Structure 1
Amino acid sequence: MDIESLKNIVEKEIKERGFESLSYVLFDEDSSQPWATHLFFKNGKFQINSRDERSYIVGKTWEFDTMNEAKNEFFKILSQTVHAEQLANEFGFSHPYPSPLWDEEGKRFNLRQDM
């Protein structure tokens, strides 16, 4: 399996969707980047989890047999992150990290569901 090619495919789609400012880690299970959504391959499965400010796993680690399934869930989680942070703006809550997807006053990022 060519992990570098898979990483390039996901990074290309991240750029196409305008998600570059989100906190994510691709295929580096040992990364301790806080507030990130992690996509990696371990024990023959594609896995996804989200981390908190201390890089502890929040909730569970999702496992998938195919890259396509994992990629779809990964982008679903990133989209939900943007939506949740936009709602946080409406209620006056703070954000875990800055992103133009929710920081620019009056701007609402239109999440593309067709990708």
Structure 2
Amino acid sequence: MKALLGFLVVIMAIPAMAVPSLPQAPYKDASELLAWLKKSRVEMNRAGRAHDLVTLSRIKRDAFRWTDVWYIDAGHRHFLPCSHAARDMGNFLDAYEKKDMRKRDLMGRLFRDDLAECERLVRAH
């Protein structure tokens, strides 16, 4: 019993990830994701200039986590470009790691386009 209680204490002490755990209002989810995308974009550019592969891989992992937890329901479907921007960011960083310049350039362009569309949708709401 003490082992189970200790295990639960350890699990409860783990800090929350930067991704939503339960569906919220679609606008709130989209605005949280947009804020994370903007913050991560600045961090990604800084880490890229410094060749900090650890930070870049963490950002890539978080981007794919955001994509995995995005809800595909009627309300969230309207903000789908926000999820696509997170996926494109992860694919961009994957191509950067593999030194695939064609895919990196393509994913960078798609990321910028989806990020702009996400900003437009959140602002219009």
Question: Could you state the TM-score of these two structures normalised by the residue count of structure 1?
Answer: 0.35
- Give the number of the structure with larger relative contact order, counting CA–CA contacts within 8 Å between residues 6 or more apart: 2
Higher share in strand:
1
Structure with greater helix percent: 2
TM-score, normalised with respect to structure 2? 0.32
Q: Which has the larger radius of gyration?
A: 2
